[in-house]
Structure 1
């Protein structure tokens, strides 16, 4: 069982239990412009038929609106080359009734550890800049 993932955005942090469903250290793509006619299975089949390392896929649904698709989802790859190849080859291909948008997912950029490291790096950079300015 994976440990819970703490996420941060807009100055707030929360535990995202849904991320424990995904493989650890995977390579994930964001897939946008999904029509309501696209199912989780169709999304998985679209990628797994072409790339052997597809681990899972998921369409994001609105819990408040009868689990209606929000029009985007994610596809997880175990191999970075398959992920990169899919990103190049599948952007603007048709899935269901629409051409899909495929790009690298930035889900890891909101992990608390990643956010804290970036903030620490920015603070050090700002301190160096301020110290350099005060020495003039």
Structure 2
């Protein structure tokens, strides 16, 4: 499961995101293979989160129930005279 962080007002990406892996060996492989590689003109910096650990069962349930949402676009304001 992956999530790209966007600016709420503009909808543009902030340049970072979060990825969760159901298998810990996939995390190790991603760090080994992708850390320092370039996407466009920016290097990827990978690290394991120190956020509260979730059990594998909880992570799998979240992935099953995850619904892909479209990013909210800012409402256009109307100027009145």
CA distance in 1, matches of 2:39, 2:4: 13
Deviation at 1:72, TM superposition (A): 0.7
Q: Which residue of 2 aligns with 1:60?
A: 5
TM-fit CA distance, 1:105: 1.7
**Is 1:102 equivalent to 2:46 in the alignment?**
yes
Structure (1 or 2) with the larger CA radius of gyration: 1
> May I ask how many residue pairs the two structures share in their alignment?
53
Answer yes or no: is 1:83 the counterpart of 2:27: yes
Query: How much does 1:96 deviate?
Result: 2.3
Distance 1:106 1:96 in 2: 28
Which of the pair is proportionally richer in strand?
1
Aligned to 2:63: none
User: What secondary structure does 1:87 align onto?
Assistant: helix
**TM (normalized to structure 1)?**
0.35
Kindly state the Cα deviation for residue 107 of structure 1 after the two structures are TM-superposed.
2.9
- Over 3 Å off, 4+ runs: none
User: What residue in structure 1 maps to residue 17 of structure 2?
Assistant: 73
Deviation per CA, 1:79-103, whole angstroms, max 9, x where unpaired? Answer: 0011112112211011122111111
Q: Normalising to structure 2: TM-score of the pair?
A: 0.56
